[in-house]
Amino acid sequence: MTQSRTIAMTGTSSGIGAATRSLLESNGHRVIGVDLSGSDIDADLSTVDGRGRALDGLLELSGSRLDGFIPCAGVSGSDVSRIVKVNFYGTMALLSGLRPALEAGHQASVVLISSNSTTMIPWLELRHAEAFLNSTEDEVVARFEGRSWLAYPAGKLALAYWVRSHAAEWMAAGIRVNAVAPGVTRTTMTESLPGGPDGKGGLDLIPIPAARWAEPEEIAEAIAFMQAPAASYVVGQVLFVDGGTDALLQPFAHPAPMPRDAAP
Ligand code: NAD
């Protein structure tokens, strides 16, 4: 019998976050959710005040003891400021604020939500993700102004690099850190993009061996596995759940070989 866990989540009012919450709760776990509205804590994660409200609420409702954290809140579209602030810096603020509560939890784990846009977009470069990791929020907003098509995958790539570069240190503190990278999934986010379910354009051009978009429940299954003690030896991984697009586009990229100058 699975032991009940207390898991903090964001973005639980819609799409992948709602499906994940529902799956975790049906498995007997307690989820404390944050969203703009309609969850346990209403907070806007694009603002410093909203992040503070979210943190205070999560710590109060959990008694400062969490077994998991899954930040699903995210935006796409043309608003670079919101993309940068919600997807990356909102996630980072909650991650660092919740770390002590996760250290106090049981077999604690974090699952970040990256994206297969990180390996699908030819013009995305390492330096774009590094900007997120090495600059202030305002500097990153200014750098990507007018280029939301780059800001979104760059922020998601930065989340993946954050996982890879922090997994060892967080594991030493008892917290497993991983990410799931979904492909195109049928949610409110994709309904509003060009090439949505009934439209023609960008999203319809993506080659998907599975020949269909994902349902949010299929992404939720992968997230639930990554957060669970069943995945106790999975550390620092970015799991692509994308119907095969990443494998199709770069068959020899994973696992990435050691850089030449780091090889023995
Ligand atoms: P969605 O729009 O259905 O859900 C996103 C949720 O985030 C909503 O409930 C929304 O209210 C919440 N949110 C947005 N801005 C917020 C803010 N400022 N403060 C608090 N909450 C906020 O989208 P989704 O497709 O379920 O996306 C979930 C995650 O998956 C996102 O991080 C997204 O980038 C990622 N993702 C989605 C896809 C896809 O194709 N749908 C693909 C790859 C990655």
Q: How confident is the model at residue 66 (pLDDT cuts 50, 70, 90)?
A: very high
Nearest CA to ligand 1 atom 39: 185
Distance CA 240, CA 182 (A): 6
Which amino acid belongs to residue 141? V
Q: Which residues line ligand 1 (CB under 6 A)?
A: 10-11, 13-17, 35-36, 44-46, 72-75, 86-87, 113, 115, 182, 184-185, 187-190
Mean pLDDT value across residues 153-178 = 97
Which domains are seen in the chain, by residue range?
6-241 (3.40.50.720)
Q: How confident is the model at residue 2 (pLDDT cuts 50, 70, 90)?
A: confident
Q: Which residue from 13, 14, 37, 118 has its CB within 8 A of the most atoms of ligand 1, so it is best to mutate?
A: 14
pLDDT above 60 for 133: yes
pLDDT above 80 for 197: no
Other Cβ atoms within 10 Å of 80 Cβ, number: 22
134 neighbors 169 (Cβ within 8 angstroms)? no
Rounded to the nearest angstrom, the distance between the alpha carbon of 180 and the centre of ligand 1 is: 13
Residue numbers annotated as active site: 152
Rounded to the nearest angstrom, the distance between the alpha carbon of 14 and the centre of ligand 1 is: 7
Phi then psi dihedrals of residue 38, to 5 deg:
80, 15
Q: Which of 72, 89, 95 is nearest to 10 (CA)?
A: 72
pLDDT per residue as tens digits for the range 77-123: 999 999 999 999 999 999 999 999 999 999 999 999 999 999 998 88
The pLDDT of residue 81 is: 98
pLDDT above 80 for 252: yes
ω before 194 within 30° of 0 (cis)?
A: no
pTM: 0.95
Task: Using alpha carbons only, give the angle 9, 11, 17 rounded to the nearest 5 degrees.
Answer: 75
* Mean pLDDT score of the chain: 93
Rounded to the nearest angstrom, the distance between the alpha carbon of 133 and the centre of ligand 1 is: 21
The pLDDT of residue 254 is: 72
When computed from its CA atoms, the radius of gyration of the chain, rounded to whole angstroms, is: 18
Other Cβ atoms within 10 Å of 25 Cβ, number: 12
84 neighbors 45 (Cβ within 8 angstroms)? no
- Token look-up 């620092």 returns 236
Q: Which residue from 87, 180, 187, 241 has its CB within 8 A of the most atoms of ligand 1, so it is best to mutate?
A: 187
